Amino acid sequence: MKSRIVLAIGGNSLIRSKERSSFAAQLETVRETCRHIAELVRAGSEVVVTHGNGPQVGLLLIRSHLSRTRLPEVPLDACNAMTQAEIGYMIQQSLDNELAGLGLARRAVTVVTRVVVSADDPAFGAPSKPVGPFYTKAEAAGLQKDLGWAMREDAGRGFRRLVPSPEPGEIVEVAEIECLLGQGSVVVACGGGGIPVLRRDGRFEGVAAVIDKDSVSSLLAARLQAQELIISTAVEQVYVGFGGPNQRALGDVKAREMREYLAAGEFPEGSMGPKVRAALVLLDAVGGRVIITDPEHITEARDGRAGTRITA
């Protein structure tokens, strides 16, 4: 049986700075990452690529807000779908070119993916995920009154909309992803955590929420029985004591040890916490291995020469 890998790319790793947020700049960054993905394919692995889309959704919401007096605003679930397709196209284009350069007759395929969440999820009663542009206090009050948005001041730069971040339940297109893998495709799926949908009376309904990308990647890896989950982020390794005098990089580490570090507060919610939790969920469910590293060190991390490798 071929090795099956789920590779999760962070949305922030596609936009490295405000000055490099254009489509052309993102495409250039994607090309670099796809060179490493192509090497995984050349080594004989079946690969599914997931990705974040937070910055891209933010830009789309800003465009929608600025043109709101002339055009209808774009709902959040549609923003997720649009950026899934946009980033998927960038990955498909770049990866197909890399695979062709290696003489591999393989194709990348993007699946615009929905993820079922529960209407009873406590997250819907406590929106916590900031999205979109910054508003003035007066604008925020108006939006809260007119549209019922939850608003909160963020980083002293103004008010932002808060949306729920529910737990993922079921990946609607998982059978189609499995089928494409079996046909030899490299599949891009579950972008941005997937489009959150509710199932009501046998029908799907989009909902304004954001699902954590790493949680969905872990769920997808479990459903596909992947032997490896690679979480690509901005740093080469996971650290304990990060930023302090006793900072220490983690190489090969057991899930038990990572769970102790997580409980001790070593991994903040805004950075490494969700990634480590997603790793532990997968390892508890199916075992295998989780690698956390940056795009440049994926190959070395798999060989034990870089990155953080977590096993059950």
Region 241-246: mean pLDDT is 91
11 catalytically annotated: yes
Question: What is the full DSSP assignment across 114-133?
Answer: EEE--TT-GGGGS--EEEEE
- pLDDT at 11 exceeding the cut of 90: no
Question: What is the full DSSP assignment across 186-230?
Answer: EEE--GGG-EEEEEETTEEEE-S----HHHHHHHHHHHTT-SEEE
Active-site entry in 2, 12, 241, 287? 12
137 catalytically annotated: no
Active-site entry in 11, 58, 88, 194? 11
Active-site entry in 129, 158, 206, 273? 129
18 catalytically annotated: no
- pLDDT at 19 (0 to 100): 65
**Start-end of CATH 3.40.1160.10 domains in the chain:** 1-115+170-199+213-231
How does pLDDT run across 113-165, given as a tens digit for each residue? 999 999 999 999 999 888 877 889 999 999 889 888 899 998 678 998 899 99
Q: What percent of the chain has a predicted confidence (pLDDT) above 70? A: 97
- pLDDT at 1 exceeding the cut of 80: no
145 catalytically annotated: no
Region 239-243: mean pLDDT is 92
Region 22-34: mean pLDDT is 87
More confident position, 11 or 177: 177
Active-site entry in 58, 80, 191, 275? 275
Closest by Cα among 8, 37, 48, 7 to 213: 8
Say if CB 56 and CB 64 are below 8 A apart.
no
CATH fold of 1-115+170-199+213-231 reads: Carbamate kinase (3.40.1160)
Instruction: Give the chain's largest Cα–Cα span.
Output: 59
- pLDDT at 183 exceeding the cut of 70: yes
What's the CA gap between 300 and 122, in Å, rounded?
40
- pLDDT at 114 (0 to 100): 98
Active-site entry in 53, 192, 193, 213? 213
SS3 sequence, 216-228?
Answer: HHHHHHHHCCCCE
Q: Is 122 exposed, middle or buried (0-12, 13-18, 19+ CB in 10 A)?
A: exposed
Closest by Cα among 70, 71, 81, 74 to 60: 74
pTM (2 decimals)? Answer: 0.91
Say if CB 225 and CB 286 are below 8 A apart.
yes
275 catalytically annotated: yes
